[in-house]
Amino acid sequence: MRRRSSQRCSNPRPLCLRFLRKANLSDCSPSTMATGLFIRLEARQTKGQAKETPSRATSGYELWQETIDGAMSDARWHGYDCDIQRAVNQFNKHLSRTAGYRALDWRLIKAMVWTESGGPNSRAWRDNPIQIGNPGDPGLSALFSGREGGELIIPPELRNRLTIGTVKMSPQMNISAGIACLLMRHASYSFTTVQDEQGNKTYDVLVKAGDTLEKIAKSNGTTVGTIRKCSTGALVLRPGQSLRYRKASIQKVIARWASANTNSIASLYNVGDPAYAKKLTYCLPVMQKASQLADKSSGYQAKAADIMSCFLVPNTEIKADGKKPRRQNDDRAF
């Protein structure tokens, strides 16, 4: 029997790539790869200590719970974390200037992605993880209709990039659209007079025969209320009369916010799943446990650097004397 060499193989790249493909991690980010590798390594070390417990699920919800529990041993479930946090931060920064807004917790969005998609083994996870824009879903068309407040919710830096096309093609844009739709549903709107950016500058206009306040306001970029506020004698109009006004318009604004929680999300975003709030609530502690496991693996940083260095090793190494090193057997099992 050939003795297995204890030396490190001269070219470990094929070995690592084969293991990553076997672990379904080859398409993940480097940080996710490292986390996933250690989750797999820990599982291999404990293999044989306990037999796999067969599923005891007796209902569809219990089967779903078992699927979600897989997030504690599969790093791919956390692959969208950075994208979700980045998007939520954009919306929080944009909407923080509106009255009564409370910063959205990014973990609620992560729970929605888990619940909507069913996890990284599903096609939905790869294509439209938050499921906005599906056939029969009114959320996406409402967001871009210009009638329900979506234009006030979407941050300026996303307005040119967030379209119906990109939402259906990019999972990151799909998540951003889902966040926008969710927040749009949690906002209440009203119409009010909004002063122009140069609100302190006043203008004068002469009344002509047949003029009305509405006609004057429309032709001069202001509102009836603003004219009456600036001109005390504007109750009765006479030809030749001088009226003073400021530039203003009546605009739709966000008046107040409803608090976002698992129940409100289930009521305002979900379509057709009576267990939606219950599922979101179940996801949150699973995330916390998975985070604790990730913290536990922080002591493996040196090992992570060593394993990920496999991707920086060239296919052929040259010794200092110019000779190729003897190639070790790298086809052994990992």
* 160 CA to centre of own chain: 17
What would the two tokens of residue 243 be?
Answer: 């009226």
Q: Give the model confidence (pLDDT) of 106-157 as tens digits.
A: 999 999 999 999 999 999 999 999 999 988 788 999 999 999 999 999 999 9
Nearest Cα to 220, choosing from 240, 201, 235, 239? 201
Identify the pLDDT of residue 130. Answer: 96
pLDDT at 174: 97
Query: What is the longest distance spanned by two Cα atoms in the chain?
Result: 111
Query: Given this model, what pLDDT does residue 292 score?
Result: 82
SS3 content of the chain, % helix, strand, coil (to 5): 50, 10, 40
**pLDDT of 300:** 53
Q: What is the mean pLDDT of the chain?
A: 81
- Strand 248-257 and strand 242-246: the pairing is unpaired
Asked if pLDDT for residue 44 goes beyond 90, the answer is no
**CB burial string 111-150: b at 16+ within 10 A, e below:** bbbbbbbbbbeeebbeebbbbbbeeeeebbebbbeeebbb
Instruction: For residue range 256-308, list pLDDT tens digits in order.
Output: 999 999 999 999 999 889 999 999 999 999 999 888 877 666 555 545 556 55
Q: Which of 40, 4, 6 is nearest to 21 (CA)?
A: 40
Identify the three-state secondary structure at position 232.
Answer: coil
Which is more confidently placed, 293 or 77?
77
Higher pLDDT, 52 or 71: 71
DSSP string covering 4-61? PP-SPPS--HHHHHHHHHHTT-TTS-HHHHHHHHHHHHHHHHTBTTBPPPPP---SHH
pLDDT value, residue 60: 86
- Flag whether pLDDT at 15 surpasses 90: no
Residue 74, pLDDT > 50, answer yes
Q: Which comes out higher in pLDDT, residue 198 or 144? A: 144
Write out pLDDT tens, residues 78-112.
999 999 999 999 999 999 999 999 999 999 999 99
User: Is a pLDDT exceeding 80 seen at residue 6?
Assistant: no
Q: List the structure tokens of 167.
A: 């939402």
Over residues 244-266, mean pLDDT: 94
